[in-house]
Structure 1
């Protein structure tokens, strides 16, 4: 008797607003799987109905995820393909699924990500703040003290900061940003890909004023994007120490290229910058 090969768990990104953003691959896979694990089955049933699909569904959310693992593993072992979807966007990104995927990987199940919409990437692509380096903080804590403490931990990061926020907390978050990061540029990306998609840009104080003038701008789901901290300014003492070290390295006959590598490791920065500085010092001697 031929044994049925195990099934595959497909981690499928779904639209964050505009249903036309669902990829052809995602549509094909949703049509082909045996069942769908969804954050909210009622919400996801509307998406499947829009696609003309009627699939067995089971809920998978933060309160029952651990309990669902054995059930889903049994379906996979029986050869069923399963799609994991969240209410919107890419599963596991501030959504359920991490516990499931981690455990199923430990059990050597086949897991395939199916990329697509993701609110944080969508927001970054249209915000106009630096995207070469960024950190994602998910949702900031709801309690004021914990929120202030979290921002305190982020404020020295030079990367662009990205957070998710809900409409009933957006004003509180802007107030916290105004207390601790008042000078930073902030972008609020609201209702992405939907009819009333809006990007608001300014300081925390100016954004609070905009929301006060037009309360409609406080509605919907938000991605909050905050400019990173300016690069740390090298202290005068450190600069003196660096010059002393560079002089000593050259005096000992260390090559410029090797000395630049040492300086970059000790003081940070690019090797090319230290190389040019060493060449200048060498030319002065």
Structure 2
């Protein structure tokens, strides 16, 4: 497995009125949005970019057209959110996502505001939108649920990721963790039992594969359960569940510290989680003891 993490955040939420993503050829215009203020199209750029493939988001209205170049493959363009009525705060009037593809699955978020001179704001990022729709903007708070893909902790046979959603809002011109919507109810007794059994079965199979020197699939289910709890603000419950569900020959403390090290090492942790996520201090403390790049046999003794 690669030694670096890809803690890239994916936005959950094509909100009410959002357009479905579809392929946008660079040479063909497609209307993404239209309203009283004008319309936004994805179309070929008037000035050729240095990138072999690129396109532009173009707003046309009463004033001069405003354009934003999107480098990379045209990929998919979607309208993620549109303002339907005046609302307080600095949320944009429109928010688009353009996926550029590639191994890192990165893209561009493009916010458009009509106040004063209409202008685009582009945020290049590896945080992808995920679907389906959430509450429409006229009835729900402005915000998205980010899904955080992270490389599996060491012991996997590949670099596949698992993901879990966390809620975010737009604040000071970018995305911020929405602490008010973050913490959800803890798992029920029945759910804890089911998740614990899943962890026990997977870590048991992992130990058998390790001792037989057979390639395995790592610990994706265990990691998924851990992330789901951590990013709901229940790091303490995640750690307890891990310790209580694994065989004594599986080093759950080492696995936990490695997982925490993966999370904390990524820049997105500081941008969104540090000082905001319940349990963040616990994760950061465990990460200090984690050592990246372990061999898969290190979890088994």
Q: Report the TM-score, using the length of structure 1 for normalisation.
A: 0.32
Higher helix share: 1
Q: Report the TM-score, using the length of structure 2 for normalisation.
A: 0.30
Greater C-alpha Rg: 1
